[in-house]
Each structure stands twice: as C-alpha cells, then as structure tokens.
Amino acid sequence: MYDLEFNKNEDSMKLLWNQIRKKGEKIESGGGNVAAEKHKEKGKMLARERIEFLKDKDAPFYEIGLFVGDGMYEEYGGCPSGGVVGGITYVSGRQCVIVANDATVKAGAWFPITAKKNLRFQEIAMENRLPIIYLVDSAGVFLPLQDEIFPDKEHFGRIFRNNAIMSSMGITQIAAVMGSCVAGGAYLPIMSDEALIVDKTGSIFLAGSYLVKAAIGEIIDNETLGGSITHAEISGVIDDRFPDDKSCLERIKYIMDKIGSFDTAGFSRTEAVKPLKNPEEIYGILPENKSKPYKSIEIIERLVDNSEFEQYKKGYAQTILCGYARIDGWAVGIVANNREVIKSKKGEMQFGGAIYSDSADKAARFIMNCNQKKIPLVFLQDVTGFMVGSRSEQNGIIKDGAKMVNATSNSAVPKFTIILSNSYGAGNYAMCGKAYDPRIIVAWPTAKIAVMGGEQAAKTLLQLEKSRLGNVTPEEEINLLTKITDRYNASTTAINAASKLWVDAIIDPLETRNWISMGIEAANHAPVKQFNVGVLQT
C-alpha cells in the first residue's frame, strides 16, 4: 500500500505531465488549420506527414526541440517549434536524423531559434555519425530579425559549414526540396550527397523573381528561374525530380537502404530485461516538494534492467551514487545525486542533492573508470549545487569540484543527462549540463534549471530591489517578494529550458529507458576517441 505522500507526489507528477503533453499537442499543429489547408491545396504534405511517411512503419520518432520557440517572437505571431520539426528515427532500418521545415509557420522562415535548432540536429548527426535527411520547405531568413541570425559564428552560415564538414566525415546527407529553397538556404541541398526536388512545388534560387527584377531588370517567373526542370535538366543543380512528395520520399527510402556499415564504438549490449521494480512508481517516489529528501536508489532501480545496480564505493561519499548497470541491455555507468540526508563516517550531516568534496572526488574517479572501460555514462541530475561554508572550503571543495568538472569535460565515452528535478548552479555543470556536450539531454516535467533555487534567488533579488526603491512597507515587501519569486520561478521551468533548447525534450519519466537506449545506439555508430583527462588538482 502506498502512503498519502506517495499518492500526492504521483498526482502532482501526472498532472504536470498531462499539462505539458497537451501543450505539446497544440504546438504540433504548427501554424494552425488555415495555414495547413493552404499548404495542402498546393498538393503538399505537412512536415509531420512527410516524416511519418518517410520513417519505417511503427518505428519510434524521438522528437528533438518540440517546445523550441515557445513564448518567443510573439510580436510577429510566434514561431511554434521554431518552424522546423525533427528528431531521431529509422528509415529503411537505418537510424538517422530527419529535419523538416514547417511551411505552415511563416512559410518556414528561419528565426534565430530556428538556426539554433537546426545546428543541434547537425551536431547530433556529427557526434554520432548518423545519416541526416533534410526535407526543405523554407522562405529563407526572417528578415525583420536578420541581424540575429545572419553573421555570427553560430548563425545561419554555420549550417553550410557543417554540411561541408559532415561530407568530409563520410556522413550521408540527403536533401529533398519540397517547397521554397531560397537565398543562402539554396546551398544546403547542393552541399548534400543527394539533392532531389518535387515538380511544381519545389524551387531553388539565390534570388526570387521580384528581387531579380529589382536587381538587374530581368522579368522572369519563379518556375522558369528555379523550378524542377530548370535545375534537373538545365543547370544540373538537382540530381532528380519527382511528381509529388510521396514519390520523392520513396526515393530517399531507396537510397537509405543502400548505405553500407562503418566502424562502431563496440559498446556492450546483452538481451534487454525490464526493471524488476515497477517504473510507474517513479511518479510517487519523486517528491512534489523539491526540498524534501528521498532515496535516489529507488529511482535508479526502476530505470535499470532487472533493477540491478552495482554501486561503486557504496559506503563512501553517499551524496552521489555511482555504479554499473544495464539499460535496455546496454552497459552504462550511472552518476546520480542522492537526495537522502546522510551522516558521514566522520559524524557530519551531509544534505542530499549537494555535492561535497568526497562525492566530487568519488564521481571524478568513477567517470575516469568508465572511460577506461568504454562504458557510456548516464547522469541523473537532482542537484542543488556544491556545498558551501567554512568546512567545505577547508576540505578543498573548489579543487575537488574542479576535478569532477575536468573528468566530465574530457570524458570520451558518450554522456546522457536526465534532469529529474533540481539543476542548480555549478552542480548543473559537474553533472553534465548542456555546456558539457551530453549526446542527449532531456528533462522530466519536474525539472528546474537555474543558478540557484527560487527562494534563495528571490530573497537576494528582493534586497537589490529594496535598495533601488528606498523605503518599503512590510506589505509592499511581501507583494514585491511574491512578484519576484513568481517571475524567477517561471524562468526555471522545464518548458522554459526546452523553449531555449537547453534540453532536447521534456519526457515522460516512463520513456527514460527508451531515450537512453536510443542515444547509446546512435552513439555506437561513432568510435570512441582517446581519453585524456589532463591536469587534475590534488
């Protein structure tokens, strides 16, 4: 029988996930029904329909960046999902990345967040040596924001640089022009291995007919300027043309079926076994109140095969749990923040979620061990940061924390990060936050990402605001604190993180095993580089 606290936690988690799921369903409609109908009237499939038709029947589609752009660009009508749909799936039995412009959103125009999302897809393809398929249908850069997408290092031009780099790496790139492909964007399909186009609806040109007339006075229609016949039979820019979307997508399936095999990393995998303990109990184990302690081992045992977790240094530095397990048959090394309150062997109380000197040292050594054994790493984050205070400073928390950050940064085996709840301060860094190149980073609905917790941050911000305002009555102070707290908390949610692509997706906790397994399968396509941790401060 579950207790009242368990049931309360379960209800809270399920309600939160249901809210996120419903929001996601709304975003999936892209630019809305009217825009979708106009799109279909041209004989075109919608972006999600193209992906569904292209991927193998019943194959999973791990969508990356569904919530990207949420709450952004509202003065321009918004940009649902960044105007592009993509993720990891299977085509002709091959794991790959698919990227599809959603032309129902501002004609598929590129907003700043669109570029960031497309670069993330390319990053995933490059890190894991996965084939990448571009389904192009875009009006080009969103001109009102051109200065935020055009000239910088991680802006639009980086896309084509990556095309060239992936080609040199031997990563298959296939592009299908299924709508507009204009200006600088015209280089993307031509820098791919295979470039296809759909009759009548597909077009490629550096400048459209209006701009051509304005620039050189030539009067010409878009189809003659850059349509399928022009580029497939006259310019030679395109390899082949097709009468409709489906026939074009069928050709991509045919090409994918012919790709050969490459060297793999050789990660250990055995037959998958479901957890012995019920994964659905995770809903009730993770506390609604983020400051409450709980046994993190209870979460781990509901994620790993047969609920078997062999701990490393089990009796030492127990605010971090390290150990070996299998997830869907794949061997993994797990580094997890332990949220219990622990009494150390030295007699001091250690608070769950905080990283102490001994736990940082233990984690660093374990990360290095996993690199030595070529075992992928899984980080389970529920971290409030590094422990502060005179005792921590005298114990060398800075150097031990640096050691953990060093090991995480230089880790050569692939890393996968799951943010369960708290992800605060430098703890986010040490536990392989986005800046530390996890192959996949996802959040549970309960995730909170910030420099510090809402209560502490709000009180600090309150003092700054009081200094600015001068005399403040007790009642005004209460109202001010509430306003500051609400605003700060809104900036720390999983939705906010996903909208900015700090995480790849928000997932149902029950899907965690599948995401990790998919990620390791992808990572197994790329041999592991040599591990060199560099200089460690002792």
> Domain containing 130 — which CATH number?
3.90.226.10
Residue whose token pair is 């880790």:
411
For residues 446 and 477, state if they share a domain: no
* pLDDT computed for residue 236 by the predictor: 87
pLDDT in tens, 26-38: 999 999 999 999 9
Helical axes 112-128 vs 157-169, angle rounded to 10°? 10
Q: What is the pLDDT of residue 464?
A: 73
162: enclosing H helix or E strand: helix 157-169
Whether residue 108 lies inside any domain: the answer is: yes
Q: What is d(CA 227, CA 205) in angstroms, rounded to the nearest whole number? A: 9
Please give the backbone phi and psi of residue 91, each rounded to the nearest 5 degrees, phi first: -125, 125
What does the angle CA 111 – CA 149 – CA 119 come to, to the nearest 5 degrees? Answer: 80
| Containing structural domain, residue 319 | 279-452+492-523
Residue 18 covered by a domain: no
Query: Considering the domain boundaries, does residue 309 fall inside one?
Result: yes
- pLDDT, mean of residues 177-186: 82
Q: Is 337 helix (H, G, I), strand (E, B) or coil?
A: strand
Check residue 46 and report its DSSP letter.
P
Q: To the nearest whole percent, how much of the chain has pLDDT over 70?
A: 98
Q: What is the largest CA-CA distance in the chain?
A: 85
- Count up the domains in the chain and report the number: 3
Alpha-carbon dihedral 369, 127, 167, 185, rounded to 10 degrees: -160
Q: Are 377 and 410 members of one domain?
A: yes
What's the one-letter identity of residue 468? R
3-state secondary structure 120-147: HHHHHHHHHCCCEEEEEEECCECHHHHH
Residue 458, pLDDT score: 65
Specify the higher pLDDT residue, 326 or 464: 326
Model pLDDT, residue 95: 98
62 shares its domain with 81: yes
Could you identify the residue written with the tokens 């090409």?
Answer: 255
Mean pLDDT, rounded, for 365-393: 91
**CB 363, CB 323: distance < 8 Å:** no
- Residue 101, classed as helix, strand or coil, is strand
What are the tens digits of pLDDT across the range 286-313? 999 988 999 999 999 999 999 999 999 9
Structure tokens at 239: 């390899």
Q: Kindly state whether residues 310 and 339 are assigned to the same domain.
A: yes
Residue 1 has pLDDT above 70, yes or no: no
Looking at the structure, do residues 233 and 365 belong to the same domain, yes or no? Answer: no
Could you tell me if 501 and 480 lie in one domain?
A: no
**Long-range pairs of 147-154 with CB within 8 A, sequence gap ≥ 24:** 148/112, 149/110, 149/111, 149/112, 149/114, 149/115, 154/115, 154/116, 154/119
One-letter-per-residue 3-state SS of 12-38: HHHHHHHHHHHHHHHHCCCCCHHHHHH
Identify whether residues 483 and 389 lie together within a single domain. no
Together in a domain, 366 and 477? no
Question: Residue 93 domain-assigned?
Answer: yes
**CB crowding 151-190: b at 16 or more within 10 Å, else e:** eeeebbbbbbebbeebeeeebbbbbbbbbbbbbebbbbbb
Instruction: Give a yes or no: residue 294 inside a domain.
Output: yes
Q: Does 430 fall in a domain?
A: yes
What's residue 350's pLDDT? 75
Of 256, 288, 309, the last residue of a domain is: 256
Query: Environment class of residue 308 by beta-carbon count within 10 Å: exposed (0-12), middle (13-18) or buried (19+)?
Result: middle
**Residue the block writes with tokens 């918004």:** 78
pLDDT at 435 over 80: yes
Contact status, residue 252 vs residue 91, Cβ threshold 8 Å = yes
Give the chain's length.
Answer: 538
| Whole-angstrom distance, CA of residue 521 vs CA of residue 384 | 31
Nearest alpha-carbon partner for 269 in 331, 323, 332, 325? 331
Structure tokens belonging to residue 391: 């005792």
Question: Are 84 and 171 part of one and the same domain?
Answer: yes
pLDDT score at 184: 65
Q: Which pLDDT tens digit goes with each residue over 211-250?
A: 777 788 888 877 888 788 888 889 888 999 999 999 999 9
CA distances 150 to 65, 207, 316, Å, are: 21, 16, 51
Please state whether beta strands 354-355 and 385-386 pair in parallel, antiparallel, or not at all (unpaired).
parallel
Residue 267 counted as domain residue: no
Q: Are residues 185 and 292 in the same domain?
A: no
Local structure of residue 241 (DSSP, 8 states): E
Coil/strand/helix, residue 110: strand
In this structure, the answer to whether residues 510 and 497 fall within a common structural domain is: yes
- The answer to whether residues 216 and 319 belong to one domain is no
CA pair distance 121, 62, nearest whole angstrom: 12
On whether residue 26 sits in a domain, the answer given is no
Q: Which residue has the tokens 């709980």?
A: 294
